[in-house]
Structure 1
Amino acid sequence: MNHKKEILRQAIHATGIIFVIIQPLVGVKNLILLGLVAAIIGEIIYQYDRRHCIPFFSWLLRTCRRDSSERGFIYYFLGLTLTYSIFGFNIPIANAAIIILTIGDAASTIIGKIYGEHPLPYKTNKTFEGSIAFILLAFIGALTQVNPLTAFIGAFIGGLVEAYTPLEDNLTIPIITGIGMYVASTLIL
């Protein structure tokens, strides 16, 4: 995928921060419902698009798809939904975990693809530059929700998960960072 397409894909990825912005207005239960509905509608559009051209959506799916079988958007909405389901009792941590996913993951990909020159050990398709961008921008974003130490712990854990997890990072980043921040805020702080 060329850089322009990847930047578009990651810009769309970063729009997930809308969940954090509207959360106080709609509440956690409605946000969970919205995430599930978005995943279902996304899957319906994806399936319909396989046989028919849908104005705008077909272009968007083809432009942002990394390969023909990818359904990252489903995992993305499920990651948002599960994060609010698990951490709905602690909204600052849920919001920080979503910010870490949306901003950190987008930053790591864009910076890593454009400026990355130093591959990570054991993961040569990821770079130090991308990982540093993830941690730095995720930390700054998480600071809007939690204290600096909790934000740093979440951003650092998120950077490690993004760089090294073999699983779908749209699920693992917000859930694992949420757990890390919750443990840190409960035991350490």
Structure 2
Amino acid sequence: MIKHFELRRNIFHLFYGLTYVLLIYFNIFHLIHLLVLLLIGTIIALASLKYKLPFISWFLEKFERPDTFPGKGALTFLVGVIFAVALFDKSIALAAIAILTVGDSFSHIVGRFYGKIKNPLNSLRFLEGTLIGALCASFGAMLFVSPIKAFIASFIAMIVEAVDIKLLINGWAKRWVFDVILDDNVIVPLVAGVVLSVL
């Protein structure tokens, strides 16, 4: 049951991310639209803490872990997209979002269902997931940057994704302050974007 739930979450993650890629690529969404969407999403998430909202409650039950802030995955993903669009050129931003979308989804799916070798960087992750995730991410990024840049950025981003940085920060206050900024959905596109900018 848990595996089916996680599979469903990661398939949603894949299509959710691809939607952003298409909307940004075709100039339908710009930074202002993403910021407004984040504001609306945050208001809905806060309301969900107190009220059972039609459709939203069903959606959260199907795709969000019960022990986390409502819509956290979708909101942190959007934060990552906003950073990518705000900080990098369009091609790099799209490649970074593609790396997050494809790499994160496949790393979790492959690791959870087929992983055998523990990732030395994180005992909760599997090496097969990280490698396949990086490979798939590079194919997605190749649509926007050169193959070699896509390959390097994808592997570095997926290696960073395998490390749970939040576990390295001790203390209740620090955990809450950095919970969003250090989320994989934010870290991966930032790392990918920086690497692509340097290359």
Which residue number in structure 1 is paired with residue 22 of structure 2?
A: 21
Superposition TM-score, scaled by structure 2 size: 0.84
Distance 2:41 2:194 in 1: 28
Q: What SS is found at the alignment partner of 2:125?
A: strand
Q: What SS is found at the alignment partner of 1:172?
A: helix
Give the deviation of 1:165 after TM superposition: 4.2
Say whether the 8 Å CA contact 2:25–2:94 is kept in structure 1: no
Which residue number in structure 2 is paired with residue 175 of structure 1?
A: 190
Distance 2:156 2:196 in 1: 9
Say whether the 8 Å CA contact 2:122–2:163 is kept in structure 1: yes
Ranges of 4+ aligned residues in structure 1 off by more than 3 Å:
none
Cα deviation digits, residues 46-71 of structure 1 (max 9, x gap): 22222222222111112322243332
Which residue number in structure 1 is paired with residue 81 of structure 2?
A: 80
Say whether the 8 Å CA contact 1:19–1:31 is kept in structure 2: no
Mind listing any 5+ residue stretches in structure 2 that lack a counterpart?
Answer: 166-181
What RMSD, in angstroms, separates the aligned Cα atoms of the two structures? 1.6
Distance 2:121 2:144 in 1: 33
Distance 1:86 1:97 in 2: 11
- Aligned positions of 1:137-176 closer than 5 A: 137-166=136-165, 167-176=182-191
Q: Which amino acid aligns with 1:83?
A: A
Give the deviation of 1:85 after TM superposition: 0.2
Superposition TM-score, scaled by structure 1 size: 0.88
Q: Structure 1 122/94 Cα, relative in aligned 2: closer, same or farther at 3 Å?
A: closer
Give the deviation of 1:94 after TM superposition: 0.9
Greater alpha carbon shift after TM alignment, 147-156 vs 3-12: 3-12
Distance 2:37 2:184 in 1: 18
Say whether the 8 Å CA contact 1:100–1:142 is kept in structure 2: yes
Distance 1:62 1:44 in 2: 18
Cα deviation digits, residues 24-64 of structure 1 (max 9, x gap): 4326xx42122222222222222222222222211111232
Q: Which amino acid aligns with 2:139?
A: I
Distance 1:179 1:128 in 2: 24
- Aligned positions of 1:100-139 closer than 5 A: 100-139=99-138
Mind listing any 5+ residue stretches in structure 1 that lack a counterpart?
Answer: 185-189
Aligned length: 180
Say whether the 8 Å CA contact 2:96–2:192 is kept in structure 1: yes
